[in-house]
A = this chain, B = another copy of it.
Amino acid sequence: MTDAKALVVFQPSGRRGRVPLGLELLEAARQLGVGLEAPCGGNQACGKCLVRIETGRHDRYGIDCRAENASPAGEGETALLTPRQLEEGYRLACSAKVQGDLVVFLPEATRAAAQVVRKDARELDIKLNPAVRLTDIELNKPSLEDPTADLERLLAALEVEGQSGLRPDPFMLRELGGVLRKGGWRAQAVVYQDRELIAVRPAGAEPALGMAIDVGTTTMAAYLCDLATGNLVETASMMNPQVTYGEDVVSRISFQMHNEGGLKKLQSTLVEGLNGLVQKALAAASAKLEKELAPGDILDMAICGNTVMQHTLLGLDPEPLGGIPFAPAHHQGINIKARELGIQVNPGAYVYVLPNIAAYVGGDHVGVILAEEPQKHDEMQLIIDVGTNGELVLGNKEGLICTSCATGPALEGAHIAFGMRAAPGAIERVKVDPDTLEVDYKVVNREAWRSFSEPKDMQVRGICGSGILDAVAELFRTGVVLKSGAFNPEQPSRRYRVNPDTNLKEFVLAWADETSLDRDVVIDQKDVREIQMAKAAIYSGCKLMLQRLGLKRPDRIKIAGAFGLHIDRTLALVMGLFPDCPLNQVETVGNAAGDGCRAALLNLDKRSEAEQVARKVQYLELSLEPVFQNELVEATQFPHMNDEFPSLAG
């Protein structure tokens, strides 16, 4: 890469700018703020970052775009693209490098749409015991007779109020003099955990805000709370901007390992995102409360995420999480000043990062446990948190056992031919008519199902996680897919065919005229296999945990995560995604991780609970279980325990 630069224009958005010669188009897009899907993290593995070089003169931009202005197609590209695609100028953005001025077209499927994030907050009954305490104080003005320093003057007054032995945050001192003098020697002291004076504000200042953030691999959800009342003031969510560096945690670990300064990039990108989330929540709350709220009003934070997210947030090398023996850098929760992470809230505010249980059972799962409290009940609960990774916990007040299972990203729509995130245009629900084998479906952000719509109004772009699960279950229920997972060759549907390009059997969900892609959206044999593997992973994880505790079935199943809100429980049981359990004992609990994080924000006792739980819960390493592989293979069948399923009767 040299200092020389070239002009790159992305179509159809028209976003453009000068980037260094030698830069990959994927990075150019990122630098210019162009949303571009790259699920594999730019490893030339998924072929999803398809772009087209628009050769020829583009007078509008003053560009003569010649083919050689992009680097020649690399090995990865010749493997993943057809000769015809290459001929037509299609390239992978993760491979093609800028060698001169370029006009680059992003096909519909490549464009990253704003995801519809569905992490609504539940009503929570949380006891209020926040980490910060506010005290309004009036001081005597200093005089030549009593020139006692500002700090000692304030500490003496706080001591009268019963708050003694407080350590001052040196950054608080930077505000102290101004606040006292402007406020006529009245001020509000913000004390953290009865031990540190972290901030001073004008007397009577309100609100005192706290923020809990659940940092998912794909999405982040923030909960802005009033620390004085415990009320939820506002929620906000956005994509985790690390997505640019890889769709799943493994791609991000790999990005860090193979790029100089990769960890720093992951960290700063995430923190940038968190700051955006803070701004977004504050703006919404300001409008709602008709009062200008500032980052300085946020006096405490709690953050949870999987172990890789938490490691990258704290700037800890995630590489050991990616290989045997999967030892994290730390288990215990971390208290760190937000400013030391670059998070722009009150300079004195702390962030409490929840403890990790294991490399693949992180603070977010601790959050789930905090919210659902299986350790406080007699009934045996099984909680399944399905995301890119599946995290499972089983137990009651006698003890908890947990594990993680590599579901793969299929359940979130990745590694699927037409997989995508739950963004507008994604098929999220599917029904198949058992008689005609015709398909009805619904897309994200459109109320009307296909059967009530004009084909052109559907604008299908792909299939998201819940849509895939729905589709596979329906295909099985209607006999299109056999128990083994193979397509039934004996079926008459006109939607069933063999793709001449991929040579895979496939089933059409949406015809080309219902899409914005100009081609049929299908589920193919490979997709079904991915779902089989995912469901097998979850099922066998659950089964081995039950075995370990000598149980046949749990008393209750809770499905956590945004994913859980959108799957049909009956279908899930039909497919054998979860172990046998009465249907009325299966419930979805929404973003329990976020709820638990919010509980930790509002209640110090929940933080102690988090630390205890994280220490006490027993981690089951599936790969050490001799029977695991057999269980896994067996569990790939649909459904696993067909006959016993009460759901089929219920």
Contact = CB atoms under 8 A, between A and B. Distances in A.
A612 to B, nearest CB: 14
Interface in A150-195: 150-153, 168, 170-171, 173-174, 176-178, 181
A24 B413 CA distance: 62
Q: How large is the interface on A (under 10, 10 to 19, 20 to 34, 35 or more residues)?
A: 35 or more
Interface string A120-155: 000000000000000000000011111111111100
A142 B325 contact: yes
A181 B356 CA distance: 20
Contacts of A143: 325
Contacts of A176: 329
A325 to B, nearest CB: 5
Interface string A485-523: 000000000000000000000000000000000000000
A99 B438 CA distance: 81
A173 B330 contact: yes
Contacts of A320: 150, 177, 181
Given A181-B320, A316-B173, A316-B177, A624 B144 contact: yes
Interface in A305-347: 314-317, 319-320, 324-332, 334, 336, 340
B327 A147 contact: yes
B170 A336 contact: yes
Contacts of A177: 316-317, 319-320, 329
A584 interface: no
A331 B168 contact: no
Interface in A515-564: none
Contacts of A359: 147
A330 B144 contact: no
B623 A329 contact: no
A150 B329 contact: yes
A416 B239 CA distance: 66
A358 interface: yes
What copy number does this chain have within its complex? Answer: 2
A454 interface: no
Contacts of A634: none
A533 to B, nearest CB: 22
Interface in A597-614: none
Contacts of A144: 324-326, 621, 623-624
A581 to B, nearest CB: 30
B331 A152 contact: yes
Nearest to A315: B174
B331 A151 contact: yes
A327 B328 CA distance: 49
Contacts of A145: 621, 624
Contact of A150 (B146, B178, B327): B327
Given A148-B327, A327-B147, A173 B314 contact: yes
A107 to B, nearest CB: 41
A328 B149 contact: yes
A166 to B, nearest CB: 11
Nearest to A316: B173
A621 B146 CA distance: 10
Given A143-B325, A144-B324, A324-B144, A330 B174 contact: no
Contacts of A148: 327, 331
A149 B314 CA distance: 15
7 contacts: A144-B624, A149-B328, A150-B329, A152-B330, A153-B327, A170-B336, A174-B317
For the complex of A and B, the 3 pairs showing the least CB-CB separation, nearest first, are: A151-B330, A142-B327, A149-B328
Interface of A: 142-153, 168, 170-171, 173-174, 176-178, 181, 314-317, 319-320, 324-332, 334, 336, 340, 356, 358-359, 619, 621, 623-624
Given A151-B331, A173-B314, A177-B320, 13 more contacts: A142-B327, A144-B325, A147-B326, A147-B327, A147-B619, A150-B327, A151-B329, A152-B332, A171-B315, A173-B334, A174-B314, A176-B329, A181-B320
